[in-house]
Amino acid sequence: MKIERTRDVDACRALRRAVFIEEQGVSEADEIDDLDGEAIHLLATDDGRAVGTARLLIRGETGKIGRVCVLAECRGRGVGAALIRAAVAELGQEPGLRQLRLGSQTHAMGFYAKLGFRPVGQDYLDAGIPHRDMVLDL
């Protein structure tokens, strides 16, 4: 498996469509926004096949990790953890960032906690799915 920065936003969107829209029932209106053009995109590939992605945004002193997804048949093989580690490494190189933030689906909070993130704030609904923000201080 390989994880790299990519300009192939279409491949990232195809993964997000498969996971968020088709599998999880998120509306296209909630999934598609105007932030892809300013984002850093990471793409995980396995033997040349796109299997996971993450989108990174910089907001002042905060790096935001979002749109993290892995194809269902590729879960449980470390792809998601590798994506998060790559995102932390990528954002850790950005000057001035003091914290990383993500919105975790509540069922996945333990996954992010194992990677060093801690929960903050209260649960909230995003696209009808329970979430909670989590942070990692740099």
Domain-by-domain residue ranges, the chain?
2-99
Please report, in tens digits, the pLDDT of each residue of the chain (138 residues total). 999 999 999 999 999 999 999 999 999 989 989 999 999 999 999 999 999 999 999 999 999 999 999 999 999 999 999 999 999 999 999 999 999 999 999 999 999 999 999 999 999 999 889 999 999 999
Q: Which CATH number fits domain 2-99: 3.40.630.30, 1.10.3720.10, 3.20.20.70, 3.40.50.720?
A: 3.40.630.30
- Give me the long-range contacts of 15-18 (CB less than 8 A, separation at least 24): 15/50, 15/51, 15/52, 15/53, 15/69, 15/71, 16/53, 16/67, 16/69, 18/69, 18/71
